[in-house]
């Protein structure tokens, strides 16, 4: 039936002339969904989503007088998501096969201008402005035949931002980086966020960093206004806010080794969370209290001149909902990642392996999803005949059955078993 098909295309172009650089990308993905999302029919070939993303960027860079430099970016972007879902309404006296269409279409243009200057040997300052005009923000949901319009919404919005950054060398081995950014959203207003970093190099191969920042995530239009069956809008949503604090130690040793140890603490407030109305069963989004995320990370990497590369990392994290004390979904305490790449034939053929371990996670539909280990293997050849590249990959090599958590309206997302892919690339010059 090929109900779980996946087809994607991507085109990239790049053109440079003088101080100008033009870059364009077009990409699309057509994904079949056999797992009955949002109560649709199970294992049918026509349930699918089609995502298309494209952009065109024009960059300009030049030196100005008195040590100033200018970087400008003008951009145009478009993004569409079109979903087709097959429903069976026969239990309610309706047709046994109905095509439901769900869409979200957006287009926007923007301008970003940054000025910077090396004020002295120990200080560099930069400042800029950014503007984004979301001139198309459409979303809707309807049955195709017979035509039933459940939801249709069309909006526009703008974002205006100003920012500044100052990098100061306090001592030959001590750097202070300070930043400040103000963003104004036409939907909910303005927010100001500072950032700071203190970087210390006591020895040539040793670096200590203390990083602090404040940021936010604005609610998107789906969370604010979507009101199709089974969903309720909440236009009073506020942004999530987060403070980030991290202390890191980086050490190079034995020529080709690098280690990194870091501790982090991220308190999040006004967390945007999807909940279900106990009376009518509708899903809606709310600012659901606070979340605390803290942990430790360890990483070791080795990079040799002849192409042998290896990395290994371990992360321990503790996520706590400080408002409800309920276990946070999809938040594993332990993550392990490892990768190894070995040259086989000169510098043209490589064999690589990557491995990921994820510990158990809390989910919406039950207590926990079990831990899993998944290895992937790839054989890669490049510069065989100047412009050609080819690779063969084996994913989930031991055919491990595992799943990732999903949101309301979706069954748990069972991942693919063992799969194989051959990729051929050609470089235009």
Residue 384 counted as domain residue: yes
Distance from C-alpha of 57 to C-alpha of 220, rounded to nearest angstrom = 24
| Residue 222 region by backbone torsions, left for phi larger than 0, else alpha for psi between -120 and 50, else beta | alpha
- Per-residue pLDDT for 262 more than 80? yes
Residue 255 counted as domain residue: yes
Give residue 384's pLDDT: 67
Give residue 256's pLDDT: 83
- Tens digits of per-residue pLDDT, 129-175? 999 999 999 999 999 988 999 999 999 999 999 999 999 999 989 99
Residue 82 counted as domain residue: yes
Q: Grade residue 348 by pLDDT with cuts at 50, 70 and 90.
A: confident
Arithmetic mean of pLDDT, 335-341: 94
Residue 280 counted as domain residue: yes
- Tens digits of per-residue pLDDT, 90-135? 888 888 899 999 999 999 999 999 999 999 989 999 999 999 999 9
- Tens digits of per-residue pLDDT, 56-94? 999 999 998 888 999 999 999 999 999 999 999 888 888
| Number of other residues whose CB lies within 10 A of the CB of residue 427 | 10
**Cβ–Cβ under 8 Å, residues 35 and 414:** yes
**Cβ–Cβ under 8 Å, residues 367 and 355:** no
**Cβ–Cβ under 8 Å, residues 398 and 356:** no
Query: Which pTM was predicted?
Result: 0.84
Query: Across the chain, what does the average pLDDT equal?
Result: 90
Residue 1 counted as domain residue: no
**Cβ–Cβ under 8 Å, residues 179 and 194:** yes
Arithmetic mean of pLDDT, 310-329: 86
CATH number at residue 298: 2.40.170.20
The DSSP result for 16-38, as a single string, is EETTEEEEEEEEEEEEE--S-GG
Domains contained in the chain, number: 1
Distance from C-alpha of 335 to C-alpha of 357, rounded to nearest angstrom = 6
Residue 209 counted as domain residue: yes
Distance from C-alpha of 353 to C-alpha of 331, rounded to nearest angstrom = 25
Residue 202 counted as domain residue: yes
**Cβ–Cβ under 8 Å, residues 115 and 126:** yes
Distance from C-alpha of 378 to C-alpha of 394, rounded to nearest angstrom = 6
Residue 21's Cβ-side half-sphere holds a number of Cα atoms within 13 Å equal to 9
Distance from C-alpha of 417 to C-alpha of 421, rounded to nearest angstrom = 13
**Cβ–Cβ under 8 Å, residues 319 and 326:** no
Domain that holds residue 223: 6-426
Closest by CA to 179, choosing from 209, 207, 210, 214, is 214
Distance from C-alpha of 13 to C-alpha of 15, rounded to nearest angstrom = 7
Distance from C-alpha of 356 to C-alpha of 330, rounded to nearest angstrom = 16
Contact residues for 346 (Cβ-Cβ < 8 A; gap 6+) = none
Give residue 423's pLDDT: 83
- Per-residue pLDDT for 428 more than 80? no
């Amino acid at each position: 039936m090929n109900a779980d098909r996946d087809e994607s295309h991507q085109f990239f172009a790049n053109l440079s002339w003088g101080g100008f650089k033009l870059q364009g990308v077009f990409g699309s993905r057509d994904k079949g969904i056999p797992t009955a999302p949002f109560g649709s029919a199970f294992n049918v070939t026509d349930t699918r989503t089609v995502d298309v993303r494209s952009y065109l960027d024009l960059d300009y860079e030049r030196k100005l007088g008195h040590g100033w430099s200018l970087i400008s970016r003008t951009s145009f972007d478009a993004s569409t998501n079109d979903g087709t879902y097959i429903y069976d309404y026969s239990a309610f006296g309706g047709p046994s096969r109905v095509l439901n269409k769900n869409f979200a279409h957006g287009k926007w243009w923007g301008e970003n201008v940054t000025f910077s200057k090396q004020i002295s040997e120990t200080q560099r300052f930069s400042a800029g402005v950014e503007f984004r005009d979301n001139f198309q923000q459409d979303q809707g949901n309807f049955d195709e035949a017979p035509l039933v319009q459940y939801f249709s919404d069309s909006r526009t919005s703008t974002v205006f931002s100003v920012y500044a950054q100052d990098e100061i060398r306090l001592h030959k081995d001590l750097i202070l980086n300070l930043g400040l950014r103000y963003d104004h959203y036409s939907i909910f207003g303005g927010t100001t966020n500072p950032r700071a970093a203190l970087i210390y190099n006591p020895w040539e191969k040793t670096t200590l960093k203390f990083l602090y920042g404040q940021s936010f995530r604005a609610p998107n239009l789906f969370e604010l206004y979507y009101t199709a069956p089974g969903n309720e809008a909440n236009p009073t949503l506020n942004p999530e806010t987060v403070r980030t604090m991290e202390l890191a130690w980086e050490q190079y040793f034995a020529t080709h080794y690098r280690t990194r140890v870091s501790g982090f603490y991220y308190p999040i407030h006004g967390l945007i969370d999807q909940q279900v109305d106990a009376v009518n069963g509708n899903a809606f989004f709310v600012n659901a209290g606070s979340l605390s995320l803290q942990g430790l990370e360890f990483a070791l990497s080795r990079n040799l001149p002849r192409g042998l590369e290896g990395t290994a990392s371990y992360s321990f994290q503790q996520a706590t909902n400080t408002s409800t004390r309920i276990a946070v979904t999809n938040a594993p305490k332990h993550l392990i990642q490892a990768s190894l790449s070995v040259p086989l034939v000169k510098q043209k053929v490589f064999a690589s392996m990557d491995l990921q371990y994820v510990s158990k996670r809390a989910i919406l539909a039950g207590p926990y999803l079990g831990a899993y280990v998944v290895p992937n293997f790839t054989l890669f050849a490049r510069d065989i005949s100047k412009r050609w590249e080819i690779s063969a990959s084996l994913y989930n090599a031991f055919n491990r059955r595992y799943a990732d958590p999903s949101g309301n309206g979706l069954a748990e997302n069972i991942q693919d078993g063992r799969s194989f892919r051959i990729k051929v690339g050609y470089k235009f010059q």
